[in-house]
Chains A and B, each alone.
Chain A
Amino acid sequence: MKNFWKYFLFLLVILVLLGGLIPPIVENPKSFFEFPLIRGLEDKARIIFFHVPTAWLTVLAYLIAMYYGIRYLKNKNIYDDMKSVSAAALGFLFCILATLTGSVWAKFTWGSFWHWDPRETSIFILLLIYGAYFALRSALEVEEKRARLSAIYSIIAFLTTPFFIFIMPRLMIGLHPGSLEIDPVTGQVKASANPVIKFEMAANMRVVFFISLIAFTILFFWLWNLSHRILKLEYENQKEI
């Protein structure tokens, strides 16, 4: 079953596209193939199947890039750096996708493209970190040096991210589900419903959501695998000349 993963991925993507886009949204869902209506969201609710997985991959890719960066520092194996940089490149791509899908959606739901909501701010900072990472790489010509310094930068930049998690809610209130809000009845500050963690999502939506999450993750690993193998081939090709 050489191509098992490819077929499996194809199947999942079809399922997500059909499952995410076709079921009608109705006031009182009766059959399994109808999504509940959420006031203020309506059809725009479908974004969750595509936006959340890209955001998740942005973070996952960063962690993978950093992990292989550290491995490079340990073993000085240039292939680890290739894995690291291709994960970072894909992460950057998904980061841009998450930002765009999010901000288009925000325009129609919250009124403007950008609100500096904590999570919008954190993805913006992640975008900056990815950008800085590639700016640094392009300024370093010697391969070993490039691998070493970009790995170190990824570690240092990563260490500042917990601070944002702490700082953001103090500076601004969250619009995303899962961020802190004030309960209208009791007046207490609490974390609002988080559809990802608390599963406050209709059962059929949850199924599509998780299939999508899995499909995107497989897609990421497939792309990552391809791109670092391409880099490796290019490298070996050049060495023979």
Chain B
Amino acid sequence: MRIDTLWGRRALLAAGAIALLCVPLLHLSDYTMRIATMTCVYVVAAAGWTLIGGYANQITLGQATMFGIGAYVSTMLFVHFHLSPWIGGPLGAIAAALAAAAIGFLVFRLWGAYFALVTLALAEMVRILVEYAQPITGGPQGISVPFVRNSVWLLQFPEAKDYYEIAALLVILALALARGVQFSPLGYRLRAIRDDEVAAKLAGIDVFRTKMIAFMLGAVLSALAGTLYAQITGFVDPDSVLSITLSVQLALYAIIGGAQVWWGPLAGAALLVPLGQAMTGSGSAAGAGLAKIVYGLLLVAIVVIQPLGIAGFVKDIRFRRRKPAAPSQAVTP
């Protein structure tokens, strides 16, 4: 079945969005809903990575910085000034966008591996500074978000699952943005940069500006996800929201799902977050270790077989694409 008309596609997307919002009607267990909620948070954060890392192939290993800024700014405003996360979250997003502008200004002229490693170093610098600025940030001890009361205005609910609808709405918003960008002139410019930056420049694209817009938009998404994360877990510390591990994870979700399409983060996080959770169930270190070996091997297998991730597999199936029979061996430099 293929739905090719514009209205058909729109209807399908709307149905998907409604389905996402209706998940609580299934009466799943608290834990399952908790994971569904966390998955939504990571979808949004990974979508932030996709805008720059996937669409423009600027592989940043510092997206946790944006997530962390979102988590910290809203939490600090909440704890110190009793400001609702509904205000603190957007302020955090603005702060993340500004941080993205500053970082982008430094790194956008670097290519490939250098870009990746410098974003990693800058993210580490942010983590060190947050740990050092203890009076404001709580330092390495982090900040516990006090549970004031069950309140929509304070974005405080007793259970993680109660955040589901908000998280799902944010997912719809984030994916709508990602999809909008993908098919907009900005998306074409980003793709041109991904395919060949020099050619894009020659074709008159303002490469720096294009990357910057995508990076800042991505920062906003990841920061909003960070705000929600802080409210759900009730605790932020540098190790959990500013770590290299988180940066790598966000990129992984996007890549496994398919970094070049808007729904990649959704597919990736929806597969990996529950899988990762399922694997931590084991009660012994050896068992837990073995489970995570599988996780590593899965990643290895996917990048080797299909660098375009799940989206690549889907494309192969939809177009029954066959590679032309390769003639005898050729060497590429």
A-B complex is real = no
B interface residue numbers (CB < 8 A to A) = none
Interface residues of A (CB under 8 A from B): none
